[in-house]
Amino acid sequence: MDKLEVLKRSDVFHYLDEADLKTVEKMATEEVFEPGEIIFRQDKHAEKIYIIEDGLVSILLEMGPTDKRQIQYASNFECFGWAATIPPFRRLCMAKAVERTKVLAFDGMELRNLINTNCKLCAEIAGGVAYVISQRLKAAFDQLMGCTYQD
């Protein structure tokens, strides 16, 4: 699948018009992660945001040196690593490839710097990231309610 098609189907960029999609497409680099490969670690500086073209990524909380808790998964056309676009640019969790995963990677600073050249596009991307965050928070809330609900 080409980059433009992945962007059109992604949860962050799907609502952009064709011209803006082409601008964003030029910023994307393709990366591949093998099963078990750690993509990023919790509490580290966040440099990249990712859109999954094909694959599955586990989102984990690192509770201690050897204790990790699975909190969510991200799969085809979903975004992960959004902390690269939001201050303080620190990873809130760890991401690990569950299966061979092909992604489009974006430099968070490059996306943020669109504010200097294309304010409208920067705002639309920020809106897309906010949407992703809201969906992740809702999923986390639903998980917590499922764990704590008592009749």
Q: What is the mean pLDDT of residues 5-9?
A: 97
Evaluate whether the domain defined by 3-148 bears CATH number 2.60.120.10: yes
The model's pLDDT over 59-117, given as tens digits with 9 standing for 90+, comes to: 999 988 888 988 899 999 999 999 999 999 999 999 999 999 999 999 999 999 999 99
**SS3 state of residue 49:** strand
CA distances from 149 to 28, 71, 135 (A): 42, 18, 21
What are the residue ranges spanned by the domains of the chain?
A: 3-148
3-state secondary structure 78-99: CEECHHHHCCCCECCCEEEECC
Global confidence as pTM: 0.90
Distance CA 104, CA 31 (A): 6
